[in-house]
Structure 1
Amino acid sequence: MASAPANTLPIFYNDLLPLSSVDHLDYRTRQIDSAPFLTTQHAVPLTIDEFVPAQRFAPIIFSAGADSVPLLLMGLNEGVNVFVDDEGKLRGPAYVPAYVRRYPWMLAKLRPDSDDLSLCFDPTSPAIGAFDEGQSLFEDGKPSEQTQGVMKFCEDFEQAAARTGQFVRDLQELDLLMDGEVAIQTPVADQPFVYRGFRMINEEKLRDLRGDQLRKINQNGMLPLIHAHLFSLQLMREIFEAQVSQGKGPIAMPATAEPTQEPVGA
């Protein structure tokens, strides 16, 4: 199969090929201790299965637009990720989204007229190739235990992504999402730095839900996820201060202007 067109590829992926027991029989996978592709990515897709562990480390927001998706905000400004250094190595404790841990693998459709998904990989990744060392992807011409584990992880991710899509549709049906805005006041500027370009839960509308609606989102597990999102927003200032400490903070504007920065969805 030919590689996928660049404009159809999700973030991080430079190319995409289906794993083949013919073309990749001698391929192996090896551990990589850095993720250079993550250094300039400030917002990463997140599934609802990850809300609870992720909310301890970074804000969870929703992308702007009709097809909103949850994002883990790893930096407030585009091109800034405060959790990794310039080589893509973790600076300290952090939550690494499953979307990142899945790379360079993913399940993808090979034919537009079929819903079947095949295990594919990014051939530009240094983690996969015809190496002398590493874990074999095939044994006796069949997927190895390593490959089966990768397949299971990708399948679990797809299922979590489907649940996440339903969660967002339920939020939209209840009209609980609104345009977000966060203002951060600092000593270096007379006016606060205002961040927009994302969506968040409308707490006022959440409080005003009818009893039957509130009971429904409590019973189907939505309520704890909503609270995890809302609690995580308190980390906006910590991310801002981390940017400043790393020399990646926004530039102060004149007192007559409003220093506006907009996190952009992935």
Structure 2
Amino acid sequence: MASAPAQSLPIFYNDLLPLSTIDHADYSVRSVEAAPHLATQHAVPLTIDEFAAAQRMLPIIFSAGNDPVPLALMGLNEGVNVFLDENGGLTGPTYIPAYVRRYPWMLAKLRPDGEELSLCFDPTTPSVGVFDEGNKLFDDGKPTEVTANILKFCEDFEQAAARTGQFMKDLKELDLLMDGEVAIQAPGLEQPFTYRGFRMVNEEKLRDLRGDQLRKINQNGMLPLLFAHLFSLQLIREIFERQVQLGKGPIAPIVSTEPAPAEA
């Protein structure tokens, strides 16, 4: 079974194999109750299609660097996710980004010089394989409805990712992003914990946009997305309080938001 190109695998993925009617004719997909690969991930890629839903439960920030991407914060420090236990089981209601829900599937190029995308999966996942339970991926050599739905989800994700890329390009052209900094004063401590290493929208620059620029971002749908991001930042304090309650309070209070590796 040939693997998809292994370089620059996105977070969570250990390997990629193209789904094959021959090699995986007897494979099924089954539900798993936990996501151990997410348990230690504090920042997850987010598409702009999810801003409205995510901002009610998760802070939305932008990664540092020359090519920032939107991220949903599930913790404020490396290795800390306040919404999952150590085994990867949910400890309460939250928004689960589509990037997480897509795993272990994704569309990838089998040839670096090609344009065609193939449905691939991470063969190390416990949710895909030859099982007595679960839903079959193929029936008489043809994809089942389950496989068709997986493919549709991955296609929708790619389209959302493309829209997100254009949003970030427009945001960069407007020069609205600035280095982020959030200070949280913990009870009983003289000095606040200060979080840096991410980017956020500069509200002053947003207010000072020219009329034609403001009209453009209102008409193309950018403006409500920017406000969703800004409104969500107040949730950073709630994430901080969750960490303290879990005994995972910050030791080195810095949010590290290196962009996820580019997808194949």
TM-score range, shorter chain: over 0.9
How far apart in 2 are the matches of 1:23 and 1:233? 46
How far 1:17 sits from its partner (Å)?
0.2
- What's the C-alpha RMSD, in Å, of the aligned pairs? 1.2
How far apart in 2 are the matches of 1:12 and 1:260? 24
Aligned 1:92-171 pairs, distance under 5 A: 92-171=92-171
- Give the aligned partner of residue 217 of structure 1: 217
Identity %: 75
Amino acid at match of 1:263: S
Which of 254, 258, 261 is 2:254 aligned to?
261
How far apart in 2 are the matches of 1:35 and 1:264? 21
The TM-score with structure 2 as length reference comes to 0.95
SS of aligned partner of 1:146: helix
Tell whether 2:61 aligns with 1:55. no
- Give the aligned partner of residue 201 of structure 1: 201
How far apart in 2 are the matches of 1:263 and 1:52? 24
Asked if the contact 1:195/1:263 (under 8 Å) is kept, the reply is no
Asked if the contact 2:39/2:88 (under 8 Å) is kept, the reply is yes
Amino acid at match of 1:33: E
- Show structure 1 runs of 5+ residues with no match: 252-258
- Show structure 2 runs of 5+ residues with no match: none
Amino acid at match of 1:234: Q
How far 1:99 sits from its partner (Å)?
0.2
How far apart in 1 are the matches of 2:7 and 2:111? 17
Runs of 4+ in 1 over 4 A off after TM superposition: 4-7
How far 1:8 sits from its partner (Å)?
1.7
How far 1:153 sits from its partner (Å)?
0.1
The TM-score with structure 1 as length reference comes to 0.95
Amino acid at match of 2:119: L
Amino acid at match of 1:45: P
How far apart in 2 are the matches of 1:120 and 1:245? 39
How far apart in 1 are the matches of 2:188 and 2:165? 40
How far 1:93 sits from its partner (Å)?
1.0
How far apart in 2 are the matches of 1:262 and 1:148? 38
How far apart in 2 are the matches of 1:142 and 1:197? 48
Give CA-to-partner distance per residue, 1:97-117, whole Å, 9 cap, x none: 000000000000000111110
- Give the aligned partner of residue 28 of structure 1: 28
Amino acid at match of 2:230: L
Asked if the contact 2:5/2:111 (under 8 Å) is kept, the reply is no
How far apart in 2 are the matches of 1:162 and 1:7? 21
SS of aligned partner of 1:37: coil
How far apart in 2 are the matches of 1:44 and 1:6? 21
Q: How many residues are matched? A: 259
How far 1:87 sits from its partner (Å)?
1.1
